[in-house]
Amino acid sequence: MIEIRGVHKSFGHLEVLKGIDLTVAAGSVTVILGPSGSGKSTLLRVINHLEKVDRGHVRVEGELIGYRQVGTKLYELRERQILEQRRDIGFVFQTFNLFPHLTAVQNVTEAMRGPREAVQRKALELLDRVGLADKAASYPRQLSGGQQQRVAIARALALDPKLVLFDEPTSALDPELVGEVLDVMRDLAKAGTTMIVVTHEIGFAREVADTIVFLDEGRLVEQGTPAEVLDSPKHDRTRAFLSKVLV
Amino acid sequence: MGFVDVLTSIPQTAAEPERLTVVPARHPWRWVATAVALVLVAQLAHGLITNPGWDWATFAGYFFEKSVMQALLVTLELTFLGALLGFLGGLVLAPMRLSKNRVLQSVSWTYIWVFRSVPLIVQLLFWANLGYLYETLQIGIPFGPGFFHFETKSLVSSFGAALLGLALHEAAYAAEIVRSGIVSVDQRQLEAAAALGIPRLRQFRRILLPQAMRAILPTAANELVNLLKSTSVVYVLAIGEIFYQVQVVYGRTGRVVPLLMVATVWYVILTAVLSVFQHYVERHFNRGWRR
Ligand SMILES: Nc1ncnc2c1ncn2[C@@H]1O[C@H](COP(=O)(O)OP(=O)(O)OP(=O)(O)O)[C@@H](O)[C@H]1O
Ligand SMILES: [Mg+2]
């Protein structure tokens, strides 16, 4: 279970997150919708502590992310410990961010630990799972955008994370490549992976999400099942947003 | 011809592409330029062979001569060690300059500023005269008692002084070369590495540096060639590298030009070897960028 409690975040004078509370059940898929600049990426980055919060906290399966609690005080962890915590949280970027000097399989194994052979075998299994067993020796530049993003997903799964975060994983892709990435994500959801997904793919959200939350100007204005949020939104903001993306 | 005619005329040619023959463009001026260049090269070669002033017999006699070979080795040593120490220094100074810590930043900035400002030859003379400034050196607690004492003159030989000067000088340049490589890498690469929980040092070594190398290598190779030639400056410390050695020989024999040619040709050969080496190293670090 992931608990986000009272998270505030500002960049200089700009308050981007204005008190976010969200609970994500283990094994569930949460889709975050919201207009550009509403703070979706920032929220995801706060969850794995790529961004520090000003107030509030995040817990992943009870473990406080980025801090250690002593009484009522939160002490920031040292970088080593934060890096260690991130191994439990996969992150898939809009721009893939594969390591261009490493092959697909090397990208997947880079952060893995353990005996070489076991690591290699597991990486190949993961590539197979995203349908790229035959591309293990290819460099990112030799792959299409959709293939690169699938390698990135395999890389994010390599550490058996408790949670995988997706920040607009299909936004940088040509339309005909979106489907192959969403298919992989759909399989992950079926297999019980806990996922938080920022996306504008409403069809995917409707089909796969257990919960949809709508973020606007740093606040969670609405939250519910796909049917609740997509078909009978309560807030004007949500309605206005959906009328734009559901044309 | 109307628009419709144009449209209908296209399929006719497009239907039979095998009928079309390609005629390469002619470049008459290329032939002229080639002829001029060949004449100039022939003249130069003729001059080199027939002018007795070059004295090729003396050149040949000294090219592989023992003292010259030893001096060549010293040149290679100074280049290799200077580059090694210099680039190790650069690998420390560049991240310092890019760090968030103001003190580290300023120290690195000042170092680069000072060591790039002082001419190498001036610096070398300073290091050679270190014994005059500090007669003994000691290792111990800063500003406190010392445990080990050294005579500066015995610790810093003239070779040591030369190497120290070259390495310190080189480190300043290497720092900038490494820094330019680091900033050329997309910041998102480090973010991806951080998101995977890869430890800081490993991020630098496995993710950042291999990508930075693409930008570092061409300029680093340039700097290495520069260093190879800069080693000739240490002749002021009477160190027997190749330039000093040929001077010794022509001081004795008076055959200046052929001996300068001995040093020149060796520098040219070493630079060629470095270029070949550079080619293969660059190819290694370009993997993943070629299709
Ligand atoms: N590092 C930063 N420094 C300053 N401002 C930032 C920074 N990162 C984000 N912001 C600002 O915070 C706000 C929210 O950004 P965020 O990237 O979270 O939006 P988003 O909802 O993901 O938008 P999009 O759909 O366009 O990706 C924006 O106004 C953005 O300009
Ligand atoms: Mg975003």
Domain assignment present for residue B142? The answer is yes
pLDDT value of position A61: 92
What is the predicted pLDDT for the residue at B96? 95
Q: How confident is the model at residue A41 (pLDDT cuts 50, 70, 90)?
A: very high
B46 is a domain residue = no
- Kindly give the distance from the C-alpha atom of residue B84 to the centroid of ligand 2, in angstroms, as a whole number: 44
Query: Quick check: is B35 in a domain?
Result: no
- Whether residue B275 lies inside any domain: the answer is no
In this prediction the ipTM stands at 0.93
Model pLDDT for residues B231-269, shown as the tens digit of each residue: 999 999 989 999 999 999 999 999 999 999 999 999 999
- Percent of chain B with pLDDT strictly greater than 70: 87
Q: Are A2 and A24 in contact (CB under 8 A)?
A: yes
Between chains, do A99 and B189 touch, taking CB under 8 Å as contact? yes
How do the domains of chain A map onto residue ranges? 95-160
Q: Which residues constitute the domain of residue B154?
A: 77-242
CB A150 within 8 A of CB A184: yes
Count of the separate structural domains present in chain B: 1
The fraction of chain A above a pLDDT of 90, given in percent, is 94
Report the 10 Å Cβ neighbour count for B17: 7
Pocket flag, ligand 1, residue A40 (CB < 6 Å): yes
Degrees, nearest 5: CA angle B167-B169-B174:
80
The set of residues, in sequence order, having a beta carbon less than 8 Å from that of B291 and lying 6+ positions away, is A141, A142
More confident residue, B147 or A20: A20
> Would you place residue B156 in the very low, low, confident or very high pLDDT band (cuts 50, 70, 90)?
low
Q: Can you give the pLDDT at residue B62?
A: 93
Rounded distance between C-alpha atoms, residue A173 and residue A96, angstroms: 10
In this prediction, residue B160 carries a pLDDT of 87
Weakest-pLDDT range from B14-18, B173-177, B198-202, B254-258: B14-18
pLDDT at B69: 95
Count the neighbouring beta carbons within 10 Å of the beta carbon of residue A116. Answer: 9
pLDDT exceeds cutoff 60 at B2: no
- Would you say residue B59 lies in a domain? no
Cβ–Cβ gap B285/A100 under 8 Å: no
Confidence class of residue A160 from pLDDT cuts 50, 70 and 90? very high
Closest protein CA for atom 12 of ligand 1: A16
Determine the residue among B100, B196, B200 to mutate to test chain A binding: the one whose Cβ has the most chain A Cβ atoms within 10 Å: B196
Show the tokens assigned to A67. Answer: 């801090």
Q: What CA–CA distance (Å, rounded) separates A66 from A53? A: 9
Give the model's pLDDT for residue B1. 44
Tens digits of residue pLDDT in A50-104 = 999 999 999 999 999 999 989 888 899 999 999 999 999 999 999 999 999 999 9
Q: What is the CA radius of gyration of chain A?
A: 18
Cβ–Cβ under 8 Å, residues A133 and A151: no
Please check the confidence at residue B7 and state whether its pLDDT lies above 60: no
What's the CATH code of the domain at B229? 1.10.3720.10
Select the more confidently predicted residue: B123 or B291.
Answer: B123
Q: Is the pLDDT of residue B6 over 60?
A: no
User: What's the residue count for chain B?
Assistant: 291
- A100–chain B nearest CA distance, Å: 6
Convert the pLDDT of each residue in B206-236 to its tens digit: 999 999 999 999 999 999 999 999 999 999 9
Q: What is the pTM of this model?
A: 0.84
For residue A12, give the ligand 1 atom closest to its CA: 4
Contact A141 B291 (CB under 8 A): yes
Residue B179 to residue B94: CA distance in whole angstroms: 5
Evaluate whether residue B216 is within a structural domain. yes
Q: pLDDT at position B158, please?
A: 84
Is the pLDDT confidence value at B16 over 50? yes
Residue B10 has pLDDT above 70, yes or no: no
Does the CB atom of residue A34 touch ligand 1 within 6 A? yes
B236 in any annotated domain: yes
- The values of phi and psi at residue B177, to 5°, are -65, -45
